[in-house]
Amino acid sequence: MDVVVTLFYILFSICVVYPPTEFISAGFTIPQLLESFLGSENTNFVGYHMRRVSITALIHSALPFGYALTLWCSGVRGEWMPCFMIGSAIGPLFMMFKIACWWEGLRHNHPVVKAILPYVPPGLDWRMLAVDINLEFRGVDKVSIQLNATNKFIATERWLIKVSQYAIYLVKQNDCALVATATDSHNFSVSGEDEVQYLNIEVIPSQSNVKRFTFRISTSALRDLQPRLERPVRVPDHISLLPTLIERFVLVFKQHIERNPVYIVEQELEVCIGCMQNTADVKLNKLCPPGLPVDNKPPCQQCNCRVLWCGSCMGRWWAARAPGAPADWLAARGSCPVCRATFCLLDVCPARRPAS
């Protein structure tokens, strides 16, 4: 009986410390169950995490004592039980004393306040800077990335913040360097179409009294994060970032259309109306042999639009509307973004000016 109780309590403790997706969805996590006590993170970011860190540390330290009570309630008795209960109660009692020290006076010993203090000007109260952090966190332009069940990374206009179970890490954007240190890739299908790459990024502050920290995000999340960073993430030469599925498709798409006949254009080529950066260099010109639709696909049509798109934007347009698995995208049919004329891959011709 005590073996079953022990295994059950171990599983319960793991779910408390590292809650699985099912616990999060059901609302059985410490922040969700104690939401009324913790308050709103969006309203008072610093105060919320000060309370969250305190109560999380207390509950986790009480797990051994909870195990002793569970054994007692399940009928386990023995000469060792009183000593075990007293020993397991030392942890939460010590943590209560430590939390009392955290909240004493100006609360300079609290882990959340310690992260703020290096940026507090001499003679000023840390709570003034906390108000500024709270205001920035309420901004709609911040980026918040959930790293795992217990940690998340936040980028505001001036701050980079990593939230963990027992602390937060805080650094100014203009006071640090972000360096990629390692990558790892994972395939979610045999064909590799759903390959995901994760990147370990180390945040290195310029001040020695500010703790450096690391976080791990996918390369797709990094692309969403980059616009919010004052300084780009430095990627060493020995680390290569995996392109997204769309980027890989566009590369293959452009390689295929380069094999098609060149369409000669007399007038000057304009800027692509899709990205407004590259020169428009593809023309939809019906070259595939006439015939009935194949595999229920509509027949190709002649497009009379002038050269408006570059190969990259046309490839992205194609991929965004291609049905089925990515392996079948090249065999699909597309439609002109302007006149909606149906075309296939054989109809996408590179546009060139005549040789002088």
Residues 25-51: what's their mean pLDDT? 93
Give the pLDDT of residue 212: 93
- Is pLDDT of 25 > 50? yes
Pairwise CA distance, residues 179 & 2, whole Å: 49
Q: How many Cβ atoms from other residues are within 10 Å of residue 286's Cβ?
A: 18
| Residues 206 and 260 grouped into a single domain | no
Task: Show Cβ contacts of residue 337 under 8 Å, excluding neighbours closer than 6 positions.
Answer: 274, 308, 309, 317
Q: How many Cβ atoms from other residues are within 10 Å of residue 287's Cβ?
A: 15
- Give a yes or no: residue 198 inside a domain: yes
Where does a domain end: 103, 131, 149? 103
Pairwise CA distance, residues 95 & 72, whole Å: 23
- Give a yes or no: residue 77 inside a domain: yes
Where does a domain end: 103, 123, 151? 103
Pairwise CA distance, residues 156 & 158, whole Å: 6
| Residues 72 and 153 grouped into a single domain | no
List the domain range (segments joined by +) for residue 145. 139-228
- Is pLDDT of 285 > 80? yes
What is the pTM (predicted TM-score) of this model?
0.75
Number of domains in the chain: 3
Nearest alpha carbon to residue 265 among 356, 352, 348, 347: 352
* Residue 34 burial (10 A CB sphere; 0-12, 13-18, 19+): middle
AA letter at 200: N
- Rounded to whole angstroms, what are the CA distances from 223 to 140, 229, 335? 18, 11, 28
Pairwise CA distance, residues 1 & 76, whole Å: 9
Strand order in the sheet with 176-186: 176-186, 196-205, 213-218
* Residue 314 burial (10 A CB sphere; 0-12, 13-18, 19+): buried
- Is pLDDT of 187 > 80? no
How do residues 208-265 score in pLDDT, each as one tens digit? 899 999 999 988 888 888 888 998 899 888 887 877 778 888 999 999 999 999 998 8
Give the pLDDT of residue 97: 96
How do residues 292-343 score in pLDDT, each as one tens digit? 455 566 788 888 888 999 999 999 998 888 887 877 888 888 889 899 888 8
Residues in the chain: 356
| Residues 98 and 44 grouped into a single domain | yes
**For the chain, what is the total number of helices (H) and then of strands (E)?**
12, 12
Three-class SS state of 274: coil
Looking up residue 200, the CATH number of its domain turns out to be 2.30.29
| Residues 3 and 70 grouped into a single domain | yes
Give the pLDDT of residue 190: 45
Give the pLDDT of residue 186: 77
| Residues 256 and 305 grouped into a single domain | yes
- Kindly state the tokens that stand for 134: 């709270």
- Is pLDDT of 34 > 90? yes
Residues 15-29: what's their mean pLDDT? 91
| Residues 252 and 223 grouped into a single domain | no
| Residues 49 and 98 grouped into a single domain | yes
Pairwise CA distance, residues 302 & 304, whole Å: 6
| Residues 251 and 348 grouped into a single domain | yes
- Is pLDDT of 192 > 60? no
Give the pLDDT of residue 296: 63
AA letter at 128: M
- Is pLDDT of 272 > 60? yes
| Residues 210 and 253 grouped into a single domain | no
Helix (H) or strand (E) holding 152: strand 152-155
| Residues 150 and 211 grouped into a single domain | yes
How do residues 102-157 score in pLDDT, each as one tens digit? 999 889 999 999 999 999 998 889 999 999 999 999 988 899 999 998 999 999 99
- Give a yes or no: residue 175 inside a domain: yes
